[in-house]
Amino acid sequence: MPSFLEISPDKLNRLIGTPGAPCIIDVRTEEDFALDPRFVPGSIRRAHAEVGSWAGSVDADSVVVVCQKGSKLSHGVAAYLRHAGIDAESLEGGFEAWITGGLAVPEEKLPRRDAEGRTVWVTRARPKIDRIACPWLIRRFVDPSAVFLFVPAPEVLAVGERFEAVPFDIDDVFWSHRGDLCTFDVMVEEFGLASKPLLRLAQIVRAADTARLDLAPEAAGLLAASLGLSRMYSDDLEQLEAGMLLYDAFFRWCRDATEETHNWPAPKKRA
């Protein structure tokens, strides 16, 4: 059982992927990280020995600190962050406990970060489904501070090259459709995020994005909502922010509510 200064892997797992997820800071040593260069989803790497220099730049209400075994490094950094006025906990058992049952994102799949530590992505303007679903996945499970550039389709590759942004959901790039799979499917697989809820969501996204509504009955609703959002917003970034809430809701349904039904009026009890 975790102490009041710790969070269990199970509890953290329930928070990851939701709007209320904490900032997760990985402070494993370079030697420990080299043994398994994967991340708890959504985490960032920081040097424990330099916490005094970076603690003030943490822009989060709550933080979970991860070291190899959940001992001195994570507890020390968490204590330092609490001294700086940040609600911080250590992950019980550290990364070793996490990987016994949790998802882990491989470092080799992550794009290089910009000067502010953010991954930068570029795709076609006027998104509908995949180009909202993928940014949602990245921000909730890979890089919460990720930057997304929406540009005219003919300029995607050139913008990517000039601004060191990773192109996605266009032809002939790594992060794109593969056979029957849409880009969201590819990201779930490549980022090591193939949990049951995300695989269920991926099927809905694929069905809506590829006009195969027979694959998932929920796809028609996602398609309708997505097309509605594209008509409501002329600004792609505003549409993305609205779409984040849409995918938050679909994810929670996939994770927590697939067995729930609703009817009205409620059945009357017999006398």
- Tell me how far apart the alpha carbons of residues 232 and 244 are, in angstroms, rounded to a whole number: 15
- Tell me how far apart the alpha carbons of residues 208 and 217 are, in angstroms, rounded to a whole number: 10
pTM (2 d.p.):
0.95
Give residue 237's pLDDT.
Answer: 98
- Beta-strand pair 38-39/105-106: antiparallel
Q: What end-to-end distance do the CA atoms of the chain give, in Å?
A: 47
Look-up of token digits 């550290």? 94
Give residue 192's pLDDT.
Answer: 97
Cβ 50 vs Cβ 74: under 8 Å: no
Cβ count within 10 A of residue 5: 14
Look-up of token digits 């039904």? 261
Give residue 18's pLDDT.
Answer: 97
Give residue 4's pLDDT.
Answer: 84
Tokens of 226: 């997505």
Per-residue model confidence as pLDDT tens for the chain (271 residues): 567 899 999 999 999 999 999 999 999 999 999 999 999 999 999 999 999 999 999 999 999 999 999 999 999 999 999 999 999 999 999 999 999 998 999 999 999 999 999 999 999 999 999 999 999 999 999 999 999 999 999 999 999 999 999 999 999 999 999 999 999 999 999 999 999 999 999 999 999 999 999 999 999 999 999 999 999 999 999 999 999 999 999 999 999 999 999 888 766 766 5
Cβ 169 vs Cβ 124: under 8 Å: yes
Q: Which domains does the chain have, with CATH numbers?
A: 6-106 (3.40.250.10), 110-257 (no CATH)
